[in-house]
Amino acid sequence: MSIAALAQNEKSRPNFVFLVGEDTGPDLECYGDKLARTPNLDRMAGEGCRFTRAFTHAPVCAPSRCGLITGQYPTTLGAHHMRSKLIRPPAMFTDYLRKAGYWVDWPGKTDFNFDVPAGAFDSTAQWIKNPPKEKQPFFAYFNMFQTHESQIRIDSDKTAKTTHAKLTAALRPEERQDPEKMVLPPFYPDDPVIRRQIANYYELVTATDYVAGNVLRTLEENGLAENTVVFYFGDHGRGIPRYKRWVYDTGIHVALLVGWPGRIAAGSVREDPVSFVDFGPTVLSLAGVEVPGQMQGQTFLMGDGQRPEIGRKYIFAARDRMDETIDRIRCVRDGRWKYIRNYHAELPYAQQINYNELNPTMQAWRAAEKEGRLNEVQKLFFAKSKPREELYDCESDPYEVRNLTESTVAEHREKLRELRIELDEWMVETKDLAEVEERELIKRGIVKDVLKDYEKRLEQHKEE
Report CA Rg, the chain.
22
User: Measured over all CA atoms, what is the biggest interatomic distance in the chain, rounded to whole angstroms?
Assistant: 69
Q: Would you call 53 exposed, middle or buried from its count of C-beta atoms within 10 A (0-12, 13-18, 19+)?
A: buried
Which residues are bridge partners to 259 per DSSP? 230
Question: From CA 168, how far away is CA 42, in angstroms rounded?
Answer: 19
Cα torsion angle, 312, 446, 116, 322, sign: positive
Cα torsion angle, 286, 287, 293, 297, sign: negative
- Smallest Cα–Cα separation from 374: which of 120, 169, 189, 182? 189
Residue 334: how many other CB atoms lie within 10 Å: 18
- Smallest Cα–Cα separation from 114: which of 85, 74, 144, 90? 85
Cα torsion angle, 269, 270, 271, 276, sign: negative
Phi, psi of 258 (to 5 degrees): -130, 125
Question: From CA 23, how far away is CA 153, in angstroms rounded?
Answer: 13
Alpha-carbon distances, residue 217 vs 146, 212, 221, 272 (angstroms)? 19, 9, 6, 29
Active-site option among 61, 66, 331, 394: 61
Phi, psi of 20 (to 5 degrees): -120, 120
Answer yes or no: 61 catalytic: yes
Q: Are 202 and 34 a contacting pair, CB within 8 Å?
A: no
Q: Are 72 and 65 a contacting pair, CB within 8 Å?
A: no
- Smallest Cα–Cα separation from 133: which of 163, 176, 103, 99? 103
Question: From CA 312, how far away is CA 297, in angstroms rounded?
Answer: 9
Phi, psi of 213 (to 5 degrees): -60, -35
Phi, psi of 207 (to 5 degrees): -60, -40
Write out the catalytic residue numbers: 61
